[in-house]
Structure 1
């Protein structure tokens, strides 16, 4: 089972039809080891090898599994600095901003957000000067961009390949919730298309 990894889903943030328990067990197993053989996957999930093969193929065709890739320690690979770059974009410049960001090799991940800033980028660099060069010399220079705020990542505490609904704990909703301010996204701030 090998295929080029995908970076995202076109339907990010939208509700999907829930999968059955077997599909979630398959995804959970593949999250731990994307190189597991179909025979070992079938044994671990408790289904036949033919069923495991059919299920994985189906999950791929339905776009649930978007690819397989290696997990890399960025620092050991030579990119020891990570930074979050928060960007505010001029309202009429969304299409052009999306196109430019998709082409930037420094950007590991980008999301259009609600709130004070319009987009959040996770970038990688060899050193702090690389973060500075990208923030002020690349992103801030785009005509689509109004403001840029960079925050260097000191420690990545949790980084999971993906979450499943089965990972989420049940919570006692009888406890009064705290105050949360929700800022809706302005028109045109849809999710970035996959690379």
Structure 2
């Protein structure tokens, strides 16, 4: 399996609010095995899932062709790699400026992740820096200076409790419906606030 480390855009199949195809039990077992170890040999993958090697190969090829598996890459601990500070940067974008805002964000190596969101802000960026000063410099000296940006709010991450590469429907436990004790406010995004373009 070849590593794919050059992708920096979210694939269209993972866009929020869109339904993905439903896989069978074997497909989910393959994805679960690859999540634990993306470098599994085909023989080891077949043994782990309980299918033949030929079936494992054809199944994985089908997952790649369908865009379910989008590539293979290493998981890196940012702090041990020298980026000890992470932050979420919430951005409100000027109307009619989304195309240029998206293009600018895609060119910024500091941005690990960007999502268009509902609610008070329009987008959320996940950034990494060597220190708090780096977060400040990026938030106020780069993002806040963009003509497309109206407001910026930065929140420094103190501890990352859980960070999984992905989750599967088979991971979700069945829970009894909770009694309604309040309302959750959800603001749908206007048509202009679209997902970043697929790679």
Q: Same fold (TM over 0.5)?
A: yes
Instruction: Measure the CA separation in 1 of the matches of 2:23 and 2:163.
Output: 24
Aligned to 1:79: 83
Per-residue CA distance 1:77-107 (angstroms, 9 max, x = gap): 0000000000000111001100000110000
SS at match of 1:190: coil
Partner SS for 1:136: helix
Hey, what's the Cα distance between the residues in 1 that align with 2:198 and 2:78?
21
Supply the distance in 1 between the matched residues of 2:61 and 2:3 (Cα, whole angstroms): 12
The TM-score normalised by the length of structure 1 is 0.96
The CA deviation string for residues 142-189 of structure 1, in whole angstroms up to 9 with x for no partner, is 000000000100000100000111111111126336311110101211
Normalised by the length of structure 2, the TM-score is 0.95
- 5+ long unaligned stretches in structure 2: none
Task: State the Cα RMSD in Å.
Answer: 1.2
Partner of 1:91, secondary structure, is: coil
1:128 to 129, 132, 135: 132
Q: Tell me, what secondary structure is at the counterpart of 1:151?
A: strand
Counterparts in 2 of 1:38-187, with a 5 A limit?
A: 38-173=42-177, 175-176=179-180, 178-187=182-191
**Gap runs ≥5 in structure 1:** none
Q: Which residue of 1 aligns with 2:12?
A: 10
1:170–1:178: structure 2 CA closer, same or farther, 3 Å change rule? farther
Q: Aligned residues, how many? A: 195
1:59 match: secondary structure: helix
Runs of at least 4 residues off by over 2 Å: 5-8, 174-178
